[in-house]
Amino acid sequence: MLDIKRLERRWLKYKIKKFLPYAVGVIAILILGITTFFWTYPEDSKNAPKVVTLPQKLPAEPVVQPIETTVLEPSMEFVQSFQGTPPPQKAQAVAAYSPKPVQRQVYSKPVVETFNVPEYTPPQPKVLTPAPKVSTNANGISINRDESKLDIDELQSRFKENSNANLGLFIARYHYEHGNYSEAYNYALKTNTLNNRIDESWILFAKSLVKLNRIDQAKKTLQLYISQSNSDNAKGLLESIDNGSFK
């Protein structure tokens, strides 16, 4: 008889034990980093006493800073501009600001584009098809066997007999993984007619359509399905088809 509570406690203990070395390592690196930072920082400030002027400029750099600095600075600049001498400090400050927002804008776009992409990359077809092994018997007859493949023909004939939606989904997934997109389409369609609430079957159906270059039909199908089910997976797939990240 299973003692689930005890088993869950043991699992938690195991997980803590497993991740403890990593956590300790990360904390140690953090502590090391912080201490080295504080160790080296005062030395730098001691070695370069001339740069003491910098702290006076620093409060002027962030625009967010309250009125204290902005109230004082403009009056001085105006005085300088009236005297005809351009303020060199301000020019430096503007130059220091300009690259930051530009970089942020550049980085922000790819984050949006890569939404949900890894989930929809088709798995490698190698998984179920290792190279057939060859055996030779006394008469020199070689036997090629490839039993690692699932007996898909047998499964298909069983599906014809019992029309089980789960089996249909299994076969559709098998064909999709092996690149037989038209077969995957057919079986996903049959599965959908048997049970129209299986999310994965609709996803496979739409993905097979895309692979068969029937992108518009795939989009329409997904839109229809989303309107009925509000499926997040379907939304993600539709978005990646629109972006062109799923081909």
Partner 1 sequence: MENSLFSKPRDLFLDVVNPRDYVQIDSVSHMYQLLKDSVQKPLKMILLYGRPGTGKSMLLHKLHHDLSKHQKVFMVSTPIIDEDDFLRVLAQNIFGHAPREVMTLNRFLEVSGALSLSDVPIVLLDEAQLYSSALMEKIRLISDARAIKFVITLHKTDKEDVIAKEHFQTRIWESIELQNASAEELKVYIQKKLLKANCFDVANMFNDKNMKLITSLTKGNYRETNKLLFSLFSLYCWYEENQPHSLQYNAIKPKWIEMAAIHTGLIHA
Give residues in contact with partner 1 (CB under 8 A).
2, 4, 7-8, 10-11, 13-15, 17, 123, 127-128, 130, 132-133, 135, 137-138, 143, 145-151, 155, 162, 164, 166-167, 169-170, 173, 200
As measured in angstroms, the least distance from the Cβ of 155 to partner 1 is: 7
Name the residue among 245, 12, 244 with its Cα closest to residue 119. 245
Pick the closer one to partner 1 by CB: 34 or 127. 127
As measured in angstroms, the least distance from the Cβ of 149 to partner 1 is: 8
As measured in angstroms, the least distance from the Cβ of 129 to partner 1 is: 8
Phi and psi for 134 in degrees, rounded to 5? Answer: -120, 130
- C-beta of residue 187 within 8 angstroms of C-beta of residue 172: yes
Pick the closer one to partner 1 by CB: 98 or 121. 121
Q: How far apart are CA 165 and CA 235, in angstroms?
A: 23
Pick the closer one to partner 1 by CB: 108 or 135. 135
As measured in angstroms, the least distance from the Cβ of 166 to partner 1 is: 4
Cα→Cα distances 17→25, 210, 239, Å: 13, 46, 41
Pick the closer one to partner 1 by CB: 149 or 220. 149
As beta bridge partners, residue 133 has 145
Chain-centroid distance, C-alpha 236: 12
Pick the closer one to partner 1 by CB: 2 or 111. 2
As measured in angstroms, the least distance from the Cβ of 212 to partner 1 is: 23
H-type helices in the chain, by residue range?
4-47, 54-57, 67-83, 88-97, 99-113, 152-162, 165-177, 181-194, 199-211, 215-229, 232-243
